Amino acid sequence: MSTLYIALGANLGRPQAQLMAALDLITAHLTLQACSPLYLSPPKYNTQQPPFTNAVCAVSTSLPPLPCLHLLQRLEDHLGRQRDSNDRNGPRCIDLDLLLYGQQCLATPELTLPHPRMLERRFVLQPLADIAPQLHHPIANTTITQLRDACPDPDTLTLLAPAGWYPATLPG
């Protein structure tokens, strides 16, 4: 079994409910080990859109990396994700990114591991540090906490829900 880390994000519709629905689907296929607190973050790259709700989860699986990516893409499609090749940083109802798969490094046309932009994203590093602070990044060869502390991203995150929000039920 391998541990993989998945970043979850949404900024359209009811983002917290959509992240919860994504986790329900993920846990139907993979074994949940941990889920981070929930954060609100300003949009990156394309700033003319609503803020994002973000979290990171750790799961275990015996699936290899590429089938895991394909599974996440199918789950996104099931949840209504519309891919816009002209605006890959645009608003979305759900985004599931495979960040790390154990200590594997991989570079294919479909998948790069570790995720190539995770080190520049506070909205990834903070929730990842919440659940795996001593995890070593296989290329940077330092802990996730150290990477979070050195992150050049100036964005401030707002805590929306502490750890334990999933699998709790949503109010109203």
For residue 14, the tally of other CB atoms under 10 A from its CB is 13
User: Which of 92, 121, 122, 148 does the annotation list as catalytic?
Assistant: 92
pLDDT of residue 44 exceeding 90, the answer is no
The alpha helices in 31-103, defined as continuous H runs, are: 65-78
In the block, which residue shows the tokens 């294919």? 108
Report the candidate in 118, 81, 122 with the shortest Cα–Cα distance to residue 100.
Answer: 118
- Amino acid 111: pLDDT: 94
Q: Is 121 a catalytic residue?
A: no
Question: Residue 172's pLDDT band (boundaries 50, 70, 90)?
Answer: very low
Report the candidate in 58, 20, 55 with the shortest Cα–Cα distance to residue 37.
Answer: 55
Rounded to two decimals, the pTM is 0.93
Q: Is 81 a catalytic residue?
A: yes
Domain assignment present for residue 134? The answer is no
Domain assignment present for residue 96? The answer is yes
pLDDT of residue 86 exceeding 80, the answer is no
Report the candidate in 6, 39, 38 with the shortest Cα–Cα distance to residue 114.
Answer: 6
Domain assignment present for residue 150? The answer is no
Give how many domains the chain has, as a whole number.
Answer: 1
User: Which of 14, 95, 153, 155 does the annotation list as catalytic?
Assistant: 95
Q: Is 95 a catalytic residue?
A: yes
Which of helix, strand or coil describes residue 129?
A: helix
CATH code at position 51 = 3.30.70.560
User: Which of 83, 87, 97, 117 does the annotation list as catalytic?
Assistant: 97
Between CA 26 and CA 5 the distance in angstroms is 12
Domain assignment present for residue 9? The answer is yes
- Amino acid 169: pLDDT: 57
Q: Can you give the residue range of the structural domain that contains 44?
A: 2-116+157-161
Q: Which two tokens stand for residue 151?
A: 């992150």
* Digit-coded pLDDT (tens) for 74-85: 999 999 887 765
Q: Is 97 a catalytic residue?
A: yes
Residue pair 79/73 in contact (Cβ under 8 Å)? The answer is no
